[in-house]
Structure 1
Amino acid sequence: MRLFLATLLVWALPHISVAGDETVQFDSDDPLMTAAMSAARETLASFLDHTRGNGAWLHPDAEMKVALHTTAAARQLYDVAVEIIWVSDIERNGETFTGRLANDPNMLGDLQFGDQVSFTQAQIRDWSLPGADGRMFGHYTTRVVLDRLPPEQAAGYREYLSETPAPAGWRP
Structure 2
Amino acid sequence: MFPRSARALSLVVSLALPTALLPALPALAGDDVVEFATDDEAMNRATADARASLNAALDYLRYSDGSYPANLSVKVGFPIEHPDINTEVIWIDSLRDLGDGQMHGQFANAPNAIPDASLGSPVTFARAEVVDWSYYDGQSLYGNYTTRTMLPHLDAAQAAQLRQLLSEDPRLPQ
Q: Distance in 1 between matches of 2:123 and 2:163?
A: 29
1:105 alignment counterpart: 111
Equivalences for residues 13-162 of structure 1 within 5 A: 13=22, 21-70=31-80, 72=81, 74=82, 77-78=83-84, 80-94=85-99, 95-131=101-137, 133-162=138-167
Q: Distance in 1 between matches of 2:114 and 2:93?
A: 17
How far the C-alpha of 1:81 sits from its partner, in A, is 1.5
How far the C-alpha of 1:122 sits from its partner, in A, is 1.1
How far the C-alpha of 1:48 sits from its partner, in A, is 1.1
Which runs of 5 or more structure 2 residues have no equivalent in the other structure? 1-8
Q: Which runs of 4+ in 1 moved over 4 A?
A: 16-19
Conservation of the 8 A alpha-carbon contact between 2:16 and 2:109: no
Query: Secondary structure at 2:116's aligned position in 1?
Result: coil
Q: Distance in 2 between matches of 1:12 and 1:153?
A: 14
Q: Distance in 1 between matches of 2:29 and 2:151?
A: 20
Conservation of the 8 A alpha-carbon contact between 2:21 and 2:71: no
Q: Distance in 2 between matches of 1:9 and 1:122?
A: 21
Conservation of the 8 A alpha-carbon contact between 1:40 and 1:126: yes
TM-score, length-normalised on structure 2?
0.85
TM-score, length-normalised on structure 1?
0.86
Is 1:9–2:17 an aligned residue pair? Answer: yes
Aligned residues: 161
Amino acid at match of 1:89: S
RMSD, aligned α-carbons: 1.9
Identity of aligned residues (%): 32
Q: Distance in 1 between matches of 2:163 and 2:94?
A: 24
The 1:8/1:158 distance shift into structure 2, 3 A limit, reads farther
2:171 alignment counterpart: 166
